[in-house]
Structure 1
Amino acid sequence: MARHRPAPPTRFLRIRQDRGHTVLDLRGEIDIVAEVEVVPHLDAATSDPECRVVIDLTRVEFLDASGLRLLYRARRRVLEQHGSLHLVCADAPTLRVLRITGLARLLPPRPTLDAVLDRPEAAPGPV
């Protein structure tokens, strides 16, 4: 598996390695402006075979269709690489959007990053 150097932070994204996973920490309002900035970093993080990715929505204040498109894109790319993808989210309005759109069934969210990384085998699994 190729190692990516940590990406410089953007207004909407921080990327780090944690316990063998690439953590994409989305923040702020995830809309079309954020999507344009985040896509190249998301694509880099999901390009390796058997990549292990966590998308953390803890610091997201707003998520629209562009944000959902980012999550579906990450899922598709990770599936193509036979990797794993986990989602962290405990915010009630964001969880509601994930449930309404059916994304919560495809990427069952965990309430904390530790809930995923301390026991990834017990997390709602590889995609």
Structure 2
Amino acid sequence: MAATAVPTPPLLQISSTQPEPGSLVVEVDGEVDAASAPELSVALEPVWAAVSTRVVLDLSRVTFLGTAGLAELLRAADRADAAGVALRLVGGTRCVDRAIEVAGLAGRLPLSPDLGHAMHR
């Protein structure tokens, strides 16, 4: 009897919502590492031209944030600066908060404790 392959869920899922005009919330769920960081880059590429005020990256469901993920967050910060858009990050998980802290990036990638705070600061 042959074994049946069970599909595995993707390591990274990305979705977005527009809670108010000019703003976009991008929800990132899963692992952001060398294998999945390019997916985040592709998902964010059209964002900078589509918003005028704020992009919130909700990382509250990220289960792993590696150096490639940190590099992508820095690129996002640079793109936001170039587009004149405020970039806000929602942390709240130990892996995200700790990765940004240990890398010494808290000044460049400040974290909001929740979505409401990120949307209105």
RMSD, aligned α-carbons: 1.9
User: Is the radius of gyration larger for structure 1 or structure 2?
Assistant: 2
* Equivalence for 1:12: 13
Task: Give me the TM-score of the superposition, normalised by structure 1.
Answer: 0.77
Q: Percent identity?
A: 30
* Cα distance, 1:49–1:37 mapped onto 2, change above 3 Å: closer
* Equivalence for 1:27: 29
The one-letter code matched in structure 2 to 1:40 is: V
Distance 1:34 1:46 in 2: 20
**CA deviations over 1:16-61 (Å, ceiling 9, x no partner):** 1113321111110111221122212211112357441000101100
Gapped regions of structure 2 (runs ≥ 5) = 1-10
Distance 1:86 1:37 in 2: 19
Distance 1:34 1:51 in 2: 27
* Equivalence for 2:55: 53
* Equivalence for 2:8: none
Please give the secondary structure, in 2, of the residue aligned with 1:39: helix
**CA deviations over 1:53-90 (Å, ceiling 9, x no partner):** 00010110001011111110110001011110001001
Distance 1:102 1:94 in 2: 13
Aligned length: 110
The one-letter code matched in structure 2 to 1:81 is: A
* Equivalence for 2:7: none
Please give the secondary structure, in 1, of the residue aligned with 2:107: helix
Structure 2 residue corresponding to 1:97, chosen from 96, 99, 104: 99
Structure 2 residue corresponding to 1:44, chosen from 43, 46, 55: 46
Comparing 101-110 with 44-53, greater Cα deviation is found at 44-53
**CA deviations over 1:69-125 (Å, ceiling 9, x no partner):** 1110110001011110001001123211111212221121111101122xx2xx2xx
* Equivalence for 2:66: 64
Task: Give me the TM-score of the superposition, normalised by structure 2.
Answer: 0.81
